[in-house]
Amino acid sequence: MELDAKIPQGTLSDKWKHYKDTVKLVSPANKRRLDLIIVGTGLAGASAAASLAELGYHVKVFCFQDSPRRAHSIAAQGGINAAKNYQNDGDSVFRLFYDTIKGGDYRSREANVYRLAEVSTAIIDHCVALGVPFAREYGGLLANRSFGGVQVQRTFYAAGQTGQQLLLGAYSAMQRQVALGNVEVFARHEMMDLVIIDGKARGIIARNLVTGELERHGAHAVLLASGGYGNVFYLSTNAMGSNVTAAWKAHKRGAYFANPCFTQIHPTCIPVSGDYQSKLTLMSESLRNDGRVWVPKKKDDPRKPTEIPEDERDYFLERRYPAFGNLVPRDVASRAAKERCDAGFGVGPSKMAVYLDFRSAMERYGHAEAHRLGIADASEAKILELGKQIIAEKYGNLFEMYERITGENPYETPMRIYPAVHYTMGGLWVDYELMTTIPGLYALGECNFSDHGANRLGASALMQGLADGFFVIPYTIGNYLADEIRTPKISTDHPAFAEAEHRVKEQIDRLMSIQGKETVDYFHRHLGKIMWDKCGMSRNAQGLQEAISEIRALREEFWKNVRIPGTADSLNPELEKAGRVADFLELAELICIDALHRNESCGAHFREEYQTPDGEALRDDEHFAYVAAWEYRDGKEYTLHQEPLHFEVVHPTQRSYK
Amino acid sequence: MKWRQLFISPVGRKIVMAFTGLFLILFLVVHVTINACIFLNDHGKTFNAVAHFMGTNILIHFLEIGLFVGFILHIIQGWMIWASNSKKRPVKYAVWGASANSHWYSRSMGLLGTLIFIFLVIHLANFWVPNRYHYITQGEELNLFERMKLIFSSPIIVLIYLGGLVSLSYHLMHGFQSAFRTFGMNSKRYIPIVRGIGIAFAIIVPVLFALMPILVYLKVIS
Amino acid sequence: MHITLKVWRQKNQQDRGHFETYQLDQVNEDMSFLEMFDVLNDQLIREGKDPVAFDHDCREGICGMCSMYINGRPHGPLKGTTTCQLHMRHFKDGDTIVVEPWRAAAFPVIKDLVVDRSAFDRIMQAGGFISVNTGSAPDANAIPVEKDKADAAFAAAACIGCGACVAACKNSSAMLFVSAKIAQLALLPQGQPERKTRVLNMIAQMDKEGFGSCSNIGSCEAECPKEIPITFIAKANREYLQAMLAPDLPE
């Protein structure tokens, strides 16, 4: 199948306007008769549910958590980008577009990214109107901060809880529609399969997680907003329940999966402390503004970090990247830390961590503060004390969080950090209208592949989720539904529903009947280790080939030897996890296949074979300037479809941070 | 929004409690002032004179009706809140660690109020009822100072009174500031002031009341 | 560390439920409380027993899904901390820990430590929003908001909806949760048009859901993992009083 991204005609800046001017519309009377299903209630799902219900569609929303407000968007800390140029620092739609394309290492679609930048401003307007308490200046206007190395201040934030505040805004807009009867929420429900009738997405099979019942839900279109698949690595900063099942089931029914190997690693996470570890906690990227990253120059140095003198420390980021130092992008910082740990210089009990040290910043701030207060001959202790106060003002809550988790006081001893899986740029392939390769099936937010290319910039995930839900899908879905106004209510008695339900039941019965020896977590942990070791921050052909055969073997063992307690007709978290891990075990293979086929290094995808002599990523625009969209075959093979990326406005260049 | 909501909605009920509570606090001020007359130790002359005024003045009689309405509303509403709230957790916790997060008396307003109610019944039976009865049947008041000396000669009665006043003290300790919160006082500027006044009031007023039975029993006042 | 766990087990909503005692020998002090439960469940599954069901998701203290009542305290002994962020170093070797579900008429137990908190969603549906349709908002900077008010609104909006306030309250009152939302929206200019109906409707819904009333005891504030201050309840009371005494339109 030829992949048609349906990019509108016209110059880049006119495409979206032109599209909106000419797109088909659905009349209010017809909207009332059309049913939509949305899976997931994060920023993309909740905002889509709210805005589509406002238009008059009847919307059913599904989430596996106990309330739609728990979706993992809630955990985003930093902020949301928008090209408002409130700071008068030269920002514009074009600059946000350009930074996003460049940050994505030239592996995203220009038209989509430009539209994202265009609608970004309306997101902020709408969120403020919804009562989102963004940070403000004393004059009462909105505050901004800079983020992730861009040269303007365009990030809007609400302390370190921006994701929470935005999600609660979208959630409240959706709850208003629930009260009006336009949205029905099915919490503690998990989508188990997609139902396709005559080639179009017409509904889902959902499992009521409390009773175990399988339910059939029909609709004129199905929207997936089910988030990313970072938990394929077992340990990630994702929530425990974050999973790929909805997207993967859609993939198995015919939706192409694009660029699965583009998985982002975040450099500043709290390191693993033991085998029992269930998840990793992110520390905001902003810490690198004042913290210096180092390891001891001596291998296995037994001394405490505070006892290691200055000249025996290796500030490896400053050494390798003198221009950007500790502020290199996420992928570069992560790889550099891994390189040091692999070489045996790691610190902490696991030796898989590096120090993030605030001592110099404390001294610097302390001196400035002493000067400001007019203390002429301040003692070293006094300077440090003053410096600590400044650091506490800036990062107090993060320092507290670190201490709560590790039991160490980061004011006294350097933090230990290590990279962790954080976000997945890959996802279901969608066209300009956010429709997958299955007509009537849409993918929004992190679960699609569209806007971030090979690497996502900080504070852009929230922007994309809300852009898709509030300002893109309400327009684009009309183009499809305009032709569906004569389609009557989708009957769930159709054989396609029975067949899909049967398929789901069969899988559940099969899982329950294995009664092997190992727990679901055992397999998940194992899978995570394979993926992290061989398909994590850096990859090579040999490792990936090994990973593929190891994953296959593990998958086989899973289906022979997993043990699921309890029954399928009641609340059974182990059964839920088993279904999700079964899908991760399939996706993992595709990630490795994709990583293996992409013979270049770009963004978050670093192939050791493709690097410059001094260890930097080496992109291959001649052969790989395309989106790799994979078609599911039979679980053994995947067919590659390429969507070439045409850069009409920006011209790919090699990134350099030296 | 109907006025009925004032008596049945969860916040409305609290507003009634706070309003009547503050009204009863005012009454306590009047009552304790009159009681304080005995400290003049003039053989009850001033005390009886004020009591006579309170017992016979028409205006006071009207206010007295208001006072009874206030008491009844406060008591009935309090019990209804207590009954309603106690149904909100049908299965109790095996381990209840509330002492780590709140004061026992804040959690025991219903119990303290009931104790005060029992004390109130005894107190009315001791003074107000016989005095009124005497007034209606005989056309004149009792010598309340003498009656007081008689009643407080029993150590059991004195202990009951002290128990009632301890209950009152703790009830006020929470109730005074709680009433202001219910009326919406949330300013950091005023909360400490109100809390301070509340604590002082909850200690000083019951102590002044308590001095009466104690001093009379000990015959310091005669 | 050796820990004895007494955990509430209840098959479903109808079941009466009971405590089970479990011994855990290899508890590491760097484990989180929920990771200890992972270890326990692993052990139970291997023994062929039913693992303990408990709610959890983000495990970084923000989603509000985890909900254990630990030794008589919601989210355990540590101030300003959710269960998922509570670490075993705050317990001693040999400790016995009693773990119960949130208990309230409005939060029926679904299984073991999992309770149904959908009442919170219905309270939000009653008025915890600003009625503005997508696309119709004015420029975000068109209406300045005093920084102090915006900060106060944020402090209220930090609520994670976990229900610890209800679990801690003697009356099972949800006033801290409800008042935080009322206060957030009442503090912002965008929330003004629906200010009066919002407070009346949300409090009526709270009552309907079977939560108790507030007695200003303060347990909620002390146990709230996000340290939402009880002053918001006073604020909501005032909003209620204003809405009741001074309705905008003659009825």
Which of B90, B94, B184 is facing C241, going by the closest CB pair?
Answer: B184
A208 to chain C, any CB pair closer than 8 A? The answer is no
Q: How confident is the model at residue A635 (pLDDT cuts 50, 70, 90)?
A: confident
Query: In angstroms, how far is CA A116 from the centroid of its own chain?
Result: 16
| Run of H or E including A201 | strand A200-208
Across the range A379-403, mean pLDDT stands at 89
What residues of A are in contact with residue C226 (Cβ under 8 Å)?
none
Q: How confident is the model at residue A17 (pLDDT cuts 50, 70, 90)?
A: very high
Residue B94 lies in a domain: no
Distance CA A58, CA A71 (A): 22
Domain coordinates in residue numbering, chain A: 268-419, 501-644
Given an 8 Å threshold on Cβ–Cβ distance, is C170 in contact with B182?
no
Is residue A285 within 8 Å of A146, Cβ to Cβ?
Answer: no
Q: How confident is the model at residue C248 (pLDDT cuts 50, 70, 90)?
A: confident
Of C54, A151, C207, nearest to B5 by C-alpha is: C207
Whether residue C251 has pLDDT greater than 60: no
CB–CB of A69 and C121 under 8 A?
yes
How does residue A343 score in pLDDT terms, banded at 50, 70 and 90? very high
Tell me the residue range of the domain where C193 lies. 118-245
Q: Is A330 a catalytic residue?
A: yes
Among C87, C111, C135, where does a domain finish? Answer: C111
Q: How far is B190 from chain C (nearest CA, A)?
A: 12
Task: Please indicate whether, in this complex, the C-beta atoms of C29 and A241 are within 8 angstroms of each other.
Answer: no
CATH at residue C183: 1.10.1060.10
Q: Do C89 and C182 share a structural domain? A: no
CATH of the domain at B129: 1.20.1300.10
Of the candidates C195, C204, C192, which has an alpha carbon nearest to the alpha carbon of residue C123?
C204
Do the domains A268-419 and A501-644 sit in the same CATH topology, yes or no?
no
- Which of A527, A593, A591, A599 is closest to A556 using CA atoms? A527
User: B79 to chain C: which residues are within 8 Å by CB?
Assistant: none
- Measure the CA–CA gap between B142 and A215, rounded to whole angstroms: 81
Of A109, A202, A330, A655, which one is the catalytic site residue? Answer: A330
* A268-419 under CATH 3.90.199.10, yes or no: no
Q: What is the distance between the alpha carbons of residues A490 and A236, in angstroms, rounded to a whole number?
A: 39
Listed residue (A646, A644, A629) closest to A257, CA to CA: A629
Which residues of A fall within a CB distance of 8 Å from C38? Answer: 276, 278, 521
**C53 found inside a domain:** yes
- Is B184–C243 a contact, with Cβ atoms under 8 angstroms apart? no
pLDDT in tens, A76-111: 988 999 999 999 999 999 999 999 999 899 999 999
Task: Report CB contact under 8 Å: A50, C134.
Answer: yes
Average model confidence (pLDDT) across chain A: 95
| Domain contains B95 | no
Predicted pLDDT at C108? 97
**B186, C234: Cβ pair inside 8 Å?**
yes
**B64 domain-assigned:** yes
For residue C197, is it within any domain? yes
List C-alpha distances in Å: A236 to A273, B23, B201.
Answer: 14, 60, 57
Give helix then strand counts, H and E, for chain C.
8, 7
| β C3-9/C96-101 pair status | parallel
Q: Chain C closest CA to A231's CA: distance in Å?
A: 12
Q: At A323, is the pLDDT very low, low, confident or very high (cuts 50, 70, 90)?
A: confident
Which of A54, A65, A69 lies nearest to residue C133, judging by beta carbons? A54
Mutate to test the interface with A, among C13, C36, C58, C110 (most CBs of A within 10 A): C58
CB-CB: which of B13, B89, B107 is closest to C213? B13
**Beta-carbon separation of C140 and A128 below 8 A:** yes
* Residue B25 is assigned to a structural domain of this protein: yes
Does C251 map to a domain? no
Which H or E run contains A629? Answer: strand A626-632
User: Which chain A residue shows the shortest CA-CA distance from C109?
Assistant: A210
In a domain, B199, yes or no: yes
CATH code, A501-644: 1.20.58.100
Inform me whether the pLDDT recorded for A312 exceeds 90: yes
pLDDT tier at B141, thresholds 50, 70, 90 = confident
* C64 and C97 belong to one structural domain: yes
Of C62, C134, C147, the CB nearest to A136: C147
Selection from A47, A440, A460, A472 nearest residue A218 by Cα: A440
| DSSP characters over B131-194 | HHHHHHHHSS---HHHHHHHHTT-HHHHHHHHHHHHHHHHHHHHHHHHHHHHTT---TTTHHHH
CB C134 within 8 A of CB A474: yes
List phi, psi (to 5°) of B113: -65, -40
Q: C-alpha angle with apex A633: A631 to A635, nearest 5 degrees?
A: 115
Report CB contact under 8 Å: C59, A563.
no
C107 in the same domain as C125: no
Same domain, C101 and C123: no
CA-based nearest residue to A178, from C198, C191, C129: C129
**Residues C97, C173 within the same domain:** no
Q: Enter the DSSP assignment of C87.
A: B
| Same-domain pairing of C36 and C59 | yes
Nearest-CA residue of chain C relative to B105?
A: C217
Alpha-carbon gap, residue B26 to B14, rounded angstroms: 18
| Average pLDDT taken over every residue of chain C | 96
In this structure, is residue B98 part of a structural domain? Answer: no
Query: Averaged over B100-109, what is the pLDDT?
Result: 96
Note whether residue C90 is domain-resident.
Answer: yes
Nearest residue in C to B16, CA atom: C241
Domain co-membership, C107 together with C160: no
CB spacing of A66 vs C55 below 8 angstroms: yes
Contacts of C104 in chain B (CB under 8 A): 88-89
pLDDT band at A154 (very low <50, low <70, confident <90, very high): very high
Q: How far apart are CA A573 and CA B124, in angstroms?
A: 63
Give me A654's structure tokens: 């090699």
Contacts of C29 in chain A (CB under 8 A): 407
ipTM: 0.97
Give the range of the structural domain holding residue B119, as residue numbers without chain letter: 5-86+104-217
Please report residues of C whose CB lies closer than 8 A to that of B90: 105
One-letter-per-residue 3-state SS of A43-82: HHHHHHHHHHHHHCCEEEEECCCCCHHHCHHHHCCCCEEC
Report, as an integer, the average pLDDT of C30-52: 96
- Residue B39 is predicted with a pLDDT of 87
The SS3 of residue C22 is strand
Are C61 and C84 in the same domain? Answer: yes
Cα distance between the two ends of chain C: 66
Q: Which residues pair with A217 in a beta bridge?
A: A204
Structure token pair of residue A33: 């008769």
Q: Does A279 touch chain C (CB under 8 A)?
A: yes
Scanning C171-210 for CB atoms below 8 A from B yields 171-173, 175, 200, 203-204, 206-207, 210
CB contact under 8 A, B97 and C215: no
Looking at the partner chain, which of C206, C222, C238 has a beta carbon nearest the beta carbon of B101? C222
What the block records as the tokens of A552 is 């296959």
Residue C166 has pLDDT above 80, yes or no: yes
Percent of chain A clearing pLDDT 70 (strictly above): 99
The rounded distance, in Å, linking the Cα atoms of A150 and A96 is 9
Tens of pLDDT along C54-82? 999 999 999 999 999 999 999 999 999 99
> Is A521 an interface residue toward C (CB < 8 Å)?
yes
**CA dist., res. A329 & res. A333, Å (int):** 6
Query: Of the candidates C91, C111, C131, which is a domain's last residue?
Result: C111
Q: Report the C-alpha gap between C99 and C91 in whole angstroms.
A: 14
Q: In this complex, do A210 and C110 lie within 8 Å of one another by their Cβ atoms?
A: yes
Count structural domains, chain B.
Answer: 1
Q: Can you tell me whether residue A223 is helix, strand or coil?
A: strand
Q: pLDDT for A171-197, tens place per residue?
A: 999 999 999 999 999 999 999 999 999
What is the domain count for chain C? 2
**Dist. CA B89–CA C211, nearest whole Å:** 9
Question: Rounded to an integer, what distance in angstroms lies between the CA atom of residue A231 and that of residue A320?
Answer: 31
- The three-class DSSP label of residue A627 is strand
> Among A138-152, A374-388, B58-72, B177-191, which stretch is predicted with the lowest mean pLDDT?
A138-152
Would you state the structure tokens that stand for residue C153, as one six-digit string? 């609104």
Please check whether residue C122 is in contact with residue C109, taking contact to mean a CB–CB distance below 8 angstroms.
Answer: no
- Residue C250 inside a domain? The answer is no
Confidence at C246, pLDDT banded by 50, 70, 90: confident
Question: Considering only CB atoms, which chain A residues are within 8 Å of C124?
Answer: 69, 171-172, 175
Q: What is the mean pLDDT of residues A337-341?
A: 92
Is the per-residue pLDDT at A325 higher than 90?
A: no
| C8 within domain boundaries | yes
Band (C202; pLDDT cuts 50, 70, 90): very high
Q: Rounded mean pLDDT of C189-204?
A: 96
* pLDDT the model gives residue A149: 61
**Residues near C7 by Cβ (< 8 Å), separated by ≥ 6?**
C19, C20, C21, C22, C40, C52, C99, C112, C113
DSSP letters spanning A8-22: PSS-GGGHHHHHHHH
